[in-house]
Structure 1
């Protein structure tokens, strides 16, 4: 089977790790050819062919870590750019399956073209519900023309899908409730997943890594790693860090990048807290060592969200054996899943005092056994092989 994969995620090689390279490797291992479309800002389009797969790097405007207006405008340009690149570089290829991950939602034209030309099936990996997400954050009006335009694009994309894979049960319920034209059997859970990577660092290595970054020994290290943008509600994160400054056993590490990084940097430089370290984004290998030297992973989502986000950052925490604190809106089910699975806690993302109480609970918890429960949950639910099987079964239906 020939598979066309569409995504905004930059993929240079399937030797990379991540939710998309790991899944696509399973397709290649099972004998399928995979054509990957990888967008790259400000570089010319070129084709890179490998054994079992090929990557078409398509020149597009910058969409990652930019403001919402620039992201919206750029998303309108991506579809035509991809179609032109396919016609030029892949004119002799035909596809049996289209895999696409949102965002964006504006590639319906490309999907419709390939479906009609090749008779391909289309499996949509729904990683972002747009434009409702930006409306929740107040970036656009839900009654305005911009929302209506992108909502029409979203409905068109859903109508093209033979199957829609959502990140969690709450996502499935949300999509069906707000899109009654879809059939229930058309929407299923196909979660974020990776190939298991359960390696650990020794106590001596963990101590050396903490010393490298100036992290004190003998404290419980709470790590947030990932995007630092509007969805994380950085002003609330700052409130939580202020409120937790007097928890004696806790030390906080914030590691990432994004449009709101400057707010955290200004706060850290002004307050100079002794229990807080801010790091800009690290290379994957360095980050993996850091996360395995910490004790608890943090997840933050703005309390205004009405869509059930499910951050993929959870996967790195679980594989490293870190329990998680999900400080989120009431819509997402990631905190409920963490509690039911025995690998974490949830608290509301509009109550700094509740965050502090949860941190204090974590400081006195059996973190090692909770970390083991997280690894077991990952193995049972979040492997790339399982996602591959879900997709293949969905197409058979």
Structure 2
């Protein structure tokens, strides 16, 4: 059995997309499935380069560079990307290969033409791993007006939905988006929870015990810090808790809002907060081992539902969660029903301080939240569960060659 995984990012990149698809590829391979990962690459002269990643075949296909460009140039590059990838694939030895199933990750929304070509060539089904509903969320946040550009991108997104035989959304609340069969066709839409594999405990380049917040209970945020998160509310929380010597705050990652957050922290003369650049994903468990509470933030203007990968990483690390998210987000019910922390839907985050102070006072109850988090991670947010679900939808459930071991590299 062979599956094609099509993805915009893959190691050595460190995005959540790259890490999730790495873990999914490892899981399929460990189950005896031959895995081919197709990924665009703008930094190579050759049309195609085939790499071996822990026994997994990775084909890097020459495609236009789309990052750090103006909106128009980037849009043209992304429209051209799947066709350039297909042209590069046609020139490779893998051109004649047939697959038993195809799965691809969105964002990006532009891979539909490549998926359709592989489906037709292999006469197989395709599974769309849909992690956010773009351009809908961009319009919700005011990043994009509902003008010609929005409607054009919306048609691109609808095309990939029609190409898919099964769509896996990350929360129940997103199922209603696909309720109109006249709009999206009659297809299977299901909840596919986010997932991760926990790397073995590794050295972490961040040592909180050697910083000015050593000895405090640490609230950590690790991940992207951009418009979609609404990070100002977490900075406001740190500001309001400046006088509480028990609490410290650590922000790790990258994003459009990082410089602004640092400038505001300096302006407010906050001594209870630290910022660190992005670290390797395998260092994250070592970071979390030094922390006590994980933080999640989503902009309140979102109308789609999102279970962030960082939430799952907190669960796997047995970290209780303090979250501020958009109203009606499924994450609120998960946190409350599973007893893994506290969640606010107050747009300005005014109630976060009360929740944070309550967590500082919990004592033994905090350990119960840790136990609940570990149980939840194993039950719902594992790569093995995701692979089983995708394989079942593709009709590959009972046809692998059996389990095999893999030697994990350093990425």
TM-score by length of 1: 0.89
Deviation of residue 85 (structure 1)? 2.0
Q: Which residue of 1 aligns with 2:409?
A: none
The correspondence of residues 147-162 of structure 1 with structure 2, limited to 5 A, is 147-162=150-165
Structure 1 contact 32–52 (Cα < 8 Å) conserved: no
Structure 1 contact 335–344 (Cα < 8 Å) conserved: no
Worse-superposed segment, 58-67 or 367-376: 58-67
Q: Which residue of 1 aligns with 2:104?
A: 100
Residue among 94, 98, 113 paired with 2:117: 113
Structure 2 contact 197–383 (Cα < 8 Å) conserved: yes
Structure 1 contact 234–263 (Cα < 8 Å) conserved: no
Residue among 359, 364, 388 paired with 1:362: 359
Residue among 234, 238, 248 paired with 1:251: 248
CA displacement, residues 235-256 of structure 1 (integer Å, 9 cap, x when unaligned): 3333333233334422111111
Deviation of residue 197 (structure 1)? 5.2
Q: Which residue of 2 aligns with 1:4?
A: 4
> What is the SS of the residue equivalent to 1:31?
coil
- Stretches of structure 1 lacking an aligned partner (at least 5 in a row): none
The correspondence of residues 223-234 of structure 1 with structure 2, limited to 5 A, is 223-234=220-231
Residue among 240, 252, 262 paired with 2:259: 262
CA displacement, residues 7-38 of structure 1 (integer Å, 9 cap, x when unaligned): 1222359xx99321121112112222111123
2:29 equivalent to 1:28: yes
> What is the SS of the residue equivalent to 2:357?
helix
C-alpha distance in 1, partners of 2:65/2:340? 37
Q: Which residue of 2 aligns with 1:211?
A: 209
Worse-superposed segment, 364-373 or 292-301: 364-373
Worse-superposed segment, 97-106 or 65-74: 65-74
CA displacement, residues 117-139 of structure 1 (integer Å, 9 cap, x when unaligned): 22121011111111101111212
Q: Which residue of 2 aligns with 1:76?
A: 79
> What is the SS of the residue equivalent to 2:95?
coil
Deviation of residue 348 (structure 1)? 2.1
C-alpha distance in 2, partners of 1:32/1:281? 32
Root mean square deviation of aligned Cα: 2.8
Q: Which residue of 1 aligns with 2:300?
A: 303
Structure 1 contact 243–353 (Cα < 8 Å) conserved: no
TM-score by length of 2: 0.86
CA displacement, residues 253-295 of structure 1 (integer Å, 9 cap, x when unaligned): 1111012211112123322311111111122343321111100
Distance 1:376 1:155, change over 3 A: same
Distance 1:283 1:214, change over 3 A: farther
2:167 equivalent to 1:168: no
> What is the SS of the residue equivalent to 1:130?
coil
2:138 equivalent to 1:134: yes
Deviation of residue 228 (structure 1)? 1.0
Larger relative contact order (CA 8 Å, sep ≥ 6): 2
Count of matched residue positions in the alignment of Structure 1 and Structure 2: 388
C-alpha distance in 2, partners of 1:178/1:226? 36
> What is the SS of the residue equivalent to 2:219?
strand
C-alpha distance in 2, partners of 1:361/1:272? 25
Structure 2 contact 195–383 (Cα < 8 Å) conserved: yes
Structure 1 contact 252–275 (Cα < 8 Å) conserved: yes
Structure 2 contact 201–285 (Cα < 8 Å) conserved: no
C-alpha distance in 1, partners of 2:61/2:294? 35
C-alpha distance in 1, partners of 2:301/2:152? 22
Worse-superposed segment, 167-176 or 191-200: 191-200
- Stretches of structure 2 lacking an aligned partner (at least 5 in a row): 397-411
> What is the SS of the residue equivalent to 1:216?
coil
Worse-superposed segment, 317-326 or 17-26: 17-26
C-alpha distance in 2, partners of 1:10/1:163? 23
Deviation of residue 370 (structure 1)? 0.4
C-alpha distance in 2, partners of 1:216/1:63? 42
Distance 1:297 1:178, change over 3 A: farther
Q: Which residue of 1 aligns with 2:407?
A: none
> What is the SS of the residue equivalent to 2:179?
helix
Structure 1 contact 12–55 (Cα < 8 Å) conserved: no
